[in-house]
Amino acid sequence: MSKAPYPENWSDIDKTLYNRSVRVFDTVRKVLSVKMKLHAETQVQQGDIFLFNHFSRFETFIPQFLIYEQTGAYSCAIASGEFFQQDTVMSRYLQHVGVFPHDHDRLFSLLTTQIFRGRKVIIFPEGSMIKDHRVIDDEGNYGIYSRMTGQRRKQHTGAAVLAQGVEAIKIIIRHAYHNKDHKQLVWWKEQLRLDSLDQLLTSALKHTLIIPANITFYPLRTSENLLLKAVDFFTDNLSLRQTEELLIEGNIVLKNTDMDIRMGKPLEPFDRRFFGSHYLLQQVMAKAKSVDEIFTLQAKPKDWQQLYLGHYFKNAANTTRDKYMEEIYLNVTINLSHLASTLIMHLIKQGQSQIERQSFFTALYIAVKQLQNNTSINLHRSLLNPIDYSQLISGTNNRFEHFISEAINAGLISEYKTRYHLLPKLLEQHDFDSIRLENIIAVYDNEAKPIKVVRETMIHALAECDTVDQQELAAWHFEDECRDLSWEHHAYNKSIYDDINQDETATADPNPFFLEPRDDDENGIGILLIHGLLASPAELKDYGEYLVKQGYTVMGVRLKGHGTSPYALQNQTWQDWYNSVIRGYNILKAHCNQIFVTGFSTGGALALKLAAEHFPEIIGVSAVALPIKFINPAFPLIPLIHGTNRLVDWLSSFEGIKPFFENDTEHPTINYRHVPVKSLYELRRLIENMDNFAPLCTVPVQILQGDNDPVVSFKSAQEIMGKLTCKNKQLKVITSNRHGMLMENIGGTWESIDEFMKGCINETKVN
């Protein structure tokens, strides 16, 4: 039975229904586990026709709503004609929210009218889902698998044809306006079913732009999900295609997936210089009886002029199609799974069936750092935020562990002792509807393949990983520490934190610092400096400058949560602070075989913890104003207050009863003016843990304490001296009525440390 013909025209968008759909979508989005992020500058406003790659059904509902959210503009889309075969609730709904059947005879003309009304048009030029992400061959040519023919084909040129037809009409209208041809302007207004000449001219003055865009999902999961189980419970004998789509796409919407929508550079439908005087176009369009004729020049030319113009349009459409497909896939958001998959597929295709785990980790880290400097590609935020990737080189990266687990479960790799073994299944051919289940590594590799620099960088990183200079790695790690500060500042520099942030007065540079002496002054000794609670590396920067002049190499660490916002500090544990210290230590030891550690206040406790771990490079520790006993009698109550806050958080959506205390700091340009109760609780936990690690210190330890410190009681120094069991321990009392005696060098604090440190150095030489 042949389908009923579509009406010559199509229903306009029902704005009430469209707006209601947007609200429903917004509600649904909040309950799904998909985190959508639109990366676009001016493209959303500029574009007329938006093109997207197609990997899941879910994504086909997203672009028009995001565009509306950003611009308030309504969008039209194209759907398979099968949805409109019968008059159903679904077909009527689609028709009234701007969806057009792909096989409508006047599709381009109808969409042209919509564009002139200020609507956006959404097109998926691949025409169907590309499950294998294989869009480029080994020669660099773009094409896709066609389910209908079982062969590969070029992507559709429909978007290019539509864009050049719209722009050609605009050229004619602009020309008519220039020549004051009112009759022709009125004719075009009526043909395009517009309300006024002003609307016609406003649209015609704007050049038609195509916006290629890419949707990237991360991570992809193949494990079972509730949606599949529910469907399987009510339905017997699901097909492979149905099972695969429920598994992959169900996991996308149900399991914490990032959906990055990235818009590329705008493209024009053809070279406008071709039309110079617009003579040929004028000749052709002067005979036009409808908008449709601009789109039938190739199929139904009436004379040599239409034939020639149609031939040009065809060639221009093919060229534009190639440009926008390239731009779509150059805007893939590259993630860690892309890098790992690219490396694995390169190795297996080169006949290499195994790789050392540490070489794999190091190669990935090197590639991440090198790609961060490449502005031509787009990296997923997890490859820009050190929290997500900085531990990759040690093999303790959560995202990498998930990737490896998926690959092992799929039988693609195996792990034995210190190596990953690459299994033959990686090179097996799989059905189009099974490849996402059987070889997710190939899917990731295919998606990244159009971006040549990814493969080139991974191959180079692999060659470099076993011989990489340790100081170069240390420089990257230091950069990560600075980058971490920027990310933390960005995360907590938001209006929701203004109640505390607006009262903060710290202006000193909070960045970690690494200072190297001149070559002729270098003594080969490294100094690790650890600041106190609420402060930042700026607290010890002057002291670091003092040390570097003596020939020491100095690393000033930034404890996690410091130098940005008290809210950032509120979310850290003392173990997070200690991990910051270890990272600083590892950076410094790439330059020095002997390291002396100086910590102030909380930093002193962390310094003793580091020494207790028996790191071989450490030759001594100086702990200044170590906090064990406090002048403020309220400090022992902190665990109780913190427990009350946690109870309030658990019982209600409100913040705890007293999440912050005001801090009357000695150094308002460096220290937070508010101290989180949670952080004081973490400090208490660190102090309690000192009973476990202080006795394990075997290196020389110096304790410096002010006799009238307004924060830390002198009893602290006495108590820690009792906990230490090392042979060489020293208590130095400084005459001071201020807490910050290390920063201010009160009572010759710096010189006292100098003397003790030189003794440690001499003792090391003797031994």
Task: Find the length of the chain.
Answer: 767
**Could you tell me the two tokens for 560?**
């996690």
| Across 538-563, average pLDDT | 97
Decide if 514 is inside a domain.
yes
State the average pLDDT for the chain.
89
Residue 241 structure tokens: 């295609």
Contacts of 405 (CB under 8 A, 6+ apart): none
Which of residues 300, 331, 362 is at a domain's end? Answer: 331
Phi, psi (deg, nearest 5) at residue 667: -130, 80
422 and 502: one domain? Answer: no
Per the domain annotation, does 658 fall within a domain? yes
Mean pLDDT over 528-535 rounds to 96
Tell me which residue has tokens 């295919």: 446
Residue 704 pLDDT grade (very low, low, confident, very high; cuts 50, 70, 90): very high
Type of residue numbered 454? V
Which residues contact residue 269 at a Cβ distance below 8 angstroms, ignoring those fewer than 6 apart? 160, 163, 164, 166, 167, 208, 210, 316, 317, 320
Q: Is the pLDDT of residue 645 over 70?
A: no
Residue range 173-190: mean pLDDT, rounded = 91
The answer to whether position 39 is within a domain reads yes
Same-domain pairing of 460 and 574: no
Q: Are residues 223 and 197 part of one domain?
A: no
pLDDT tens digits, 9-47: 888 999 999 999 999 988 888 888 889 999 998 999 999
C-alpha span between 166 and 191 (Å, rounded):
13
162 within domain boundaries = no
Predicted TM-score (pTM) of this structure? 0.90
Are the beta carbons of 361 and 464 closer than 8 angstroms? no
149, part of any domain: no
Segments forming the whole domain that contains residue 652:
496-766
Domain count, the chain: 4
440 pLDDT tier (thresholds 50, 70, 90): very high
pLDDT (tens digit, 9 = 90+) per residue, 59-98? Answer: 888 899 899 999 999 999 998 888 888 888 998 999 999 9
Q: How confident is the model at residue 641 (pLDDT cuts 50, 70, 90)?
A: very low
Residue 640's pLDDT band (boundaries 50, 70, 90)?
very low
Distances (CA, A) of 615 to 246, 485, 516, 526, 699: 51, 26, 22, 14, 10
Say if residue 198 is in the same domain as residue 234.
no
1 pLDDT tier (thresholds 50, 70, 90): very low
Residues 172 and 214 in one domain: no
Q: Do residues 277 and 260 both lie within one domain? A: no
Residue 249: count of CB within 10 angstroms of its CB: 21
The answer as to whether 488 is a domain residue is no
Greater pLDDT, 173 or 239: 173
Q: Compute the distance between CA of residue 74 and CA of residue 393 in angstroms, rounded to an integer.
A: 47
Do the domain assignments include residue 158? no
Q: Which of 52-56, 153-157, 528-532, 689-693 has the highest mean pLDDT?
A: 528-532
What would the pLDDT profile of 206-259 be if each residue is shown by its tens digit?
999 999 999 999 999 877 655 555 545 455 666 767 777 777 777 777 788 999
Which region among 85-94, 147-156, 569-578, 650-659 has the lowest average model confidence (pLDDT)?
Answer: 650-659
Closest Cα partner for 574 from 670, 662, 681, 675? 681
**Confidence (pLDDT) at 649:** 47
The answer on pLDDT for 647 being more than 70 is no
For every residue of 92-150, DSSP letters joined together read HHHHHTTEEETT-TTHHHHHHHHHHTT-EEEE-TT-S--TT---B-TTS-B-EE-TTTS
> Which residues are CB-neighbours of 182 under 8 A, at least 6 positions away?
none
237 versus 736: the higher-pLDDT residue is 736
Residues 324, 425, single domain; the answer is no
Strands 525-530 and 594-600: parallel
Query: DSSP letters of 602-659?
Result: HHHHHHHHHHHTT-TTEEEEEEES--SSBSSTTGGGHHHHHHHHHHHHHHSSSPPS--
Q: Are residues 283 and 302 in the same domain?
A: yes
Residues 597 and 697 in one domain: yes
- Whether residues 612 and 678 share a domain: the answer is yes
The pLDDT tens digits of the residues spanning 396-413 come to 888 999 999 999 999 999
- pLDDT digit string (tens) for 372-389? 999 999 999 999 999 999
Q: Which of 280, 313, 331 represents a domain boundary (last residue)?
A: 331
Sheet architecture: strand order including 413-416:
354-356, 419-422, 413-416
- Decide if pLDDT at 655 tops 70: no
- Integer Cα distance of 661 and 13 in angstroms: 56
* 323 and 366 housed in the same domain: no
Domain boundary among 331, 360, 376: 331
What CATH number should be reported for the domain holding residue 670?
Answer: 3.40.50.1820
143: in domain:
no
| 3-state SS, residue 213 | strand
C-alpha 423/C-alpha 355 separation (Å) is 12
If pLDDT is split at 50, 70 and 90, which confidence band does 304 have? confident
Q: How far is CA 554 from the centre of its chain?
A: 32
Mark whether 525 and 658 lie in a shared domain.
yes
